[in-house]
């Protein structure tokens, strides 16, 4: 399931399911509109960018290696970043 809502100004929030290693959880990702353009096929496109942070252990990803410096190779909190380009369903291109 996926849904979106306007969050004011150029902002939106998209909520959907994220599955990693067979574990599915609902996440909400704040996105900001980065602009619109007409593509080579005459389709109007809109761009978005945004991100969120997840805990990898929430998805059953618990393995790790301790580095010589005492840190860990993969932190518990992982940043997911998105750059999206979308076209409205049903648009007809010129090509």
Beta bridge partners of 46: 36, 86
Measured in degrees and rounded to the nearest 5, phi and psi for residue 10 equal: -95, 10
What residue spans define the domains of the chain?
A: 2-87
Residue with the two structure tokens 């998105």: 82
The answer to whether the Cα torsion of 86, 90, 92, 95 is positive or negative is positive
Q: What is the pLDDT of residues 29-80, one digit of tens each?
A: 999 999 999 988 889 999 999 999 999 999 998 877 777 787 777 788 999 9
pLDDT greater at residue 93 or residue 90: 90
What 3-state DSSP class applies to 49? strand
pLDDT tier at 95, thresholds 50, 70, 90: low
Q: What is the CATH number of domain 2-87?
A: 2.40.128.110
């Amino acid at each position: 399931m996926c849904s979106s809502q306007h969050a004011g100004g150029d902002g939106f929030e998209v909520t959907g399911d994220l599955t990693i290693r067979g574990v599915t959880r609902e996440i909400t990702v704040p996105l900001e509109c980065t602009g619109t353009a007409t593509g080579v096929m005459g389709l109007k496109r809109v761009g978005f960018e945004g991100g969120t942070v997840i805990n990898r252990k929430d998805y059953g990803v618990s393995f790790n290696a301790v580095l010589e410096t005492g840190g860990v190779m993969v932190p518990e909190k992982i940043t997911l970043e998105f750059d999206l380009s979308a076209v409205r369903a049903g648009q007809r291109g010129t090509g």
